[in-house]
Amino acid sequence: MALNVVIMAAGKGTRMRSATPKVLHQLGGRSLLQHVLDTVAVLGTTRTVLVTGHGAEQVEASASSGTKLGITCVRQMPQLGTGHAVQQAAPALSEAATTLILNGDVPLIRPATARALADACGGQHLALLTVTLTDATGYGRIVRNAATGTVSAIIEHKDASNEQREIREVYTGMMAAPTALLKRWVAALRNDNVQQEYYLTDIVAMAVAEGVAVVTASAGSDTEVLGVNSPAQLADLERRFQRQQADQLLDVGTRLADPARFDLRGHLHCGQDVEIDVNCVFEGTVRLGDRVRIGANCVIRNAELGDDVVIHPMTHIDGDTAGVKVGAGSLIGPFARLRPGATLGREVHIGNFVEVKNASLADGAKANHLAYLGDASVGERVNFGAGSITANYDGANKHRTVIGNDVHVGSNCVLIAPITLGDGATIGGGSTIAKDAPEGQLTVARARQISLKGWQRPVKTKR
């Protein structure tokens, strides 16, 4: 079945109190609109039309960069209601298709639900997506014929009588219709209502008058049809979304200390017997091997962790575009930071207040305290002392430090790149090394120690 999709994304979102267009606010690390586009991508559409208005340039740029869908953008200027929005989209729609209408601020609609709605239309009916809510405030009510139970109208909340407001079955803002009929119906809309807007819901009465069956499809839950109109609603939907993701991980055996204190803003792939403590945030694409343990309050982005890796609390791993890789059996943290390009071998130890950037550490290397390794290649079984750093930046360019196997770097050393430390070299504590150190030898570069007899500390002057 040929399928057009219209995504309504023109609203300003006044109650968001933000300069950012409403549909570009983030939910789970992606914009509201991107969630909808991801759903549409699964449906196999003939044509996708995005209706923009407020912040049109930003919205259109985001849509174009965030999906491989071929999207036609039309602008609704000014915004005169949902019916008016579809009027702008109508010329871009293929008539030999069903048209599915979705909302850019309703991000969690499932592909199966969207497909069921299109199927209910079947190219000949007007199909409405409905849900039953305990509190239906703000939603259009589904009015049914008392005798037959068929849909006779949708009454907007603002225009509903007190009796109609008691109805709990509501229209979600999403529908599907034969395109030729939809075009004719929206062309005939009028704005003689309280808001003086063109309501798309008025086409229900037109369908009934013409004898076109008005059918419904039901959403699986209220979560997938909830829209975002305020920061409070966005926060509520964020927690619902995160709980959904947490439940999916629990279902495959991942142990979450508290599913209510877990945030996934991307894609998380977990091996067997993974344990994740509270208040951890995962962003981008993260892969965890078998038996990985993540301590409390960690942030991990774009990283791959091998089997049996332990990430102690308060660790920050940010792979950005370059990624971070941690080999099997490694121990990281607490309070460690792995930056883009950090590649660690097996059983590497990175301890508290150690930062690694664009550096590789081979199997068994250790930097356990208060160190910086930037733009470095570190060999096997290296011990990098507390307080030591690679001085990789000369004020204009970055340079690389190469440390061979079995090197011992004492505490409080500065290695001024470019420099190479040969296999088995030892660097005496407190050294500033600016030349290559030969393998197997002790290299020391520090001032001669002296003690001054008779020296006294300064005394504070009394006033």
Catalytic residues: 369
How many other CB atoms are there within 10 angstroms of residue 64's CB atom? Answer: 13
Alpha helical stretches, state H, 143-281: 179-187, 203-209, 231-251
How many other CB atoms are there within 10 angstroms of residue 162's CB atom? Answer: 6
Encode 341-377: b = buried (16+ Cβ within 10 Å), e = exposed. bbbbbbbbbbbbbbbbbbbbbbbbbbbbebbbbbbbb
Please state the separation of Cα 177 from the chain's center in Å: 32
Rg, C-alpha atoms of the chain = 31
Encode 91-129: b = buried (16+ Cβ within 10 Å), e = exposed. ebbeeebbbbbbbbbbbbbbeebbbbbbebbebebbbbb
Bridge partners (DSSP) of residue 390 are 415
Residues belonging to the chain: 463
Side chain identity at 1, as an amino acid letter?
A: M
| Alpha carbons 170 and 164: distance in angstroms, whole number | 11
